Amino acid sequence: MSLLDDVANLRREAVEKIKGADSADTLGRIKVRYLGRKGLLTAILRGLKDLPDDQRKAVGARANQIRAELEQQIAEAVTGLSTEKSASAFDPTLPGTAQQIGAMHIVSQVMNEICQTFYGMGFEIARGPDVETDYYNFESLNFPPDHPARDMQDTFFVEGGRLLRTHTTPVQTRELERRNPPIKIIAPGKTFRNEEISTRAHVAFHQVDGFLVDEGVTMSDLKGTLVAFCRAFFGEDTKLKFRPSFFPFTEPSAEVDITCFLCKGKGCQLCKFSGWLEILGCGMIHPNVLTTGGYDPEKYTGWAFGMGVERVAMLKYKINDIRLFFNNNIRFLRQFV
């Protein structure tokens, strides 16, 4: 077969396809296939230089003619398509009339997500009162009276000798008192601190505490559980760094950093160029706390952790002012519909 035949076949094929096309998209693809820079017809024109002179002229002329013809046909087909569509009077582009749905508060959403993740690992949800006794909030958690550790948590005291809990850890003592091992609890809730309100501190925030008490529980279990949680919550490639720290109710204690989920550890504004974000505190439950709760610390061991919900939300959504959580401005609330 000669090249001229090839060109003719190509033309026939293209014309048929143009006729069959039912959208501008398809026509666009046809144009690229035949006339584009790497198109079939273009390829033939490129190959001309290898032909003898006479052939080159004939094929060249024919190919150029076909090119012009196809371009016109495609243009006509596109116009034809659009006039046909606008003929319909039905307009699907009007906004749908569904009821506007509301937004769950971002604190509820983050708290639910944390609790659900732990629920999936076998943790049961428990709650306690916001107005607590000194015993549950401090004493049972190994804060001796008048100990400097109490200064770490500025406390609101209320009339009647009670206080607003400074963490959800009191739930730990309450649950130790009324359950039997294995005890595997997640305790979400509101907590209070006597602090000046600023962009970084508020009189209240939400916390999720978790703890596990059983025979043979180790710090290795604690690490494994928190690694599993952080990967589920912040992403599969999250790495954790455990730094020794101090809490009266745990020993050994640790502060946990995760690799910054924004820069993946390379360093950015969010992580203050460290590549790490401080996300929670944890440790092995102090033997004194177990003893107070009625357990023999020789037989039973346990671990606990706690994290601030607003803090997690602030990091995750780059919220720069903690006051936004309690102002209830719907322009804020509705961003999390």
Partner 1 sequence: MKVSYHWLKELTGLDWPVEEMAERLTLCGTACEDIVSTSRYLDRVVVGEVLELHPVPGADKIRRAVTAIGSENLDIICGAPNVAAGQKVPVALIGAKLDSGFEVKKVKIKGVTSCGMICSQAELGISDDHSGIWVLDDDATVGKPLAECLDYDDYILDFELTPDRADSMSAIGIARDLAALASVKIRYPSFDLEESAESAADHIQVSIADEEACPRFTARIIRDVTIGPSPWWLQKKLLSCGMRPISNVVDITNLVMLETGNPVHAFDLDRFGSDEVLVRRAVEGEKMTTLDGKEHTLTPDVLLITNGKEGKAAAGVMGGEDSEVSSETRNILLEVAYFSPSVIRKSRRHLGIISEASSRFEKGVDPNNVPGASARVAHLFHDVCGGSVLKGVVDCYPKRIDPVTVSFRPDRCNKVLGTDIRPERMKQIFADLEFEVDGSDPMKVTAPTFRHDINLEIDLIEEVARVEGYDSIPDAQENIGPLFTPTHEEDVFEDEVRRMMTGAGFDEMISHGLVHSRQAAIIDSGLPYLKIVNPVSEDLDMMRNSLVHTGLIAVNHNVAHRNMDLRLFEIGKAYFPPDPDGLWLEDNRLMILVTGNSPASWRNASRPFDFYDVTGAIESMGEHFGWPSLRFEAETAPYYEEEVSFSIRCGDTEIGTIGQITETILKKFDIKQPVHIAELKISDLIKLSRDLSEFEPLPIYPAAPRDLALVVNETVQVGQVLERIRSVAGDMAETVDVFDYYKGKQIAEGMKSVGIAIVFRLKHRSLASQEIDKVQLDIIEMLQREFKAEIRTK
- Residues of this chain that bind Zn ion (CB under 5 A): 260, 262-263, 268, 270-271
Q: How near is the Cβ of 120 to partner 1 at its closest, in Å?
A: 9
Shortest Å, Cβ 260 to partner 1: 16
Q: Which is nearer to partner 1, 20 or 224 (CB)?
A: 224
Q: Between 145 and 294, whose beta carbon lies closer to partner 1?
A: 145
Q: Is the dihedral of CA 30, 40, 59, 68 positive or negative?
A: positive
Candidates 18-26, 42-50, 73-81, 97-105 — which segment interacts with partner 1 by CB under 8 A? 97-105
Minimum distance from residue 236 beta carbon to partner 1 (Å)? 15
CA angle 293, 296, 300 (to 5 degrees): 95
Q: Which one of the spans 4-12, 57-65, 167-175, 202-210 is the region binding partner 1 (CB under 8 A)? A: 202-210
Question: Helix crossing, 309-317 with 106-120: angle to 10°?
Answer: 110
End-to-end CA distance of the chain: 66
Could you give the C-alpha distances from 211 to 221, 252, 294, in angstroms and in order?
A: 11, 14, 16
CB atoms within 10 A of CB 192: 22
Token pair 């000669």: residue? 2
Considering only the stretches 7-15, 66-74, 80-88, 192-200, report the one whose residues sit in contact with partner 1 under the rule CB under 8 A.
Answer: 192-200
81 phi, psi to nearest 5 deg: -60, -50
In the window 282-301, what residues touch partner 1 (CB under 8 A)? 284, 286-287, 301
- Is the Cβ–Cβ distance between 299 and 305 less than 8 Å? no
**CA-wise closest residue to 209 among 307, 126, 109:** 307
Residues 138-177 that bind partner 1 (CB under 8 A): 146, 148-149, 151-152, 156-160, 162, 164
- Alpha carbons 293 and 300: distance in angstroms, whole number: 11
Contacts (CB under 8 A) with partner 1, residues 214-273: 214, 216-221, 223-225, 227-228, 241-246, 251-255
Question: Minimum Å distance from CB 271 to partner 1?
Answer: 14
Identify what 262 binds: Zn ion, partner 1, none; CB under 5 to 8 Å per kind.
Zn ion
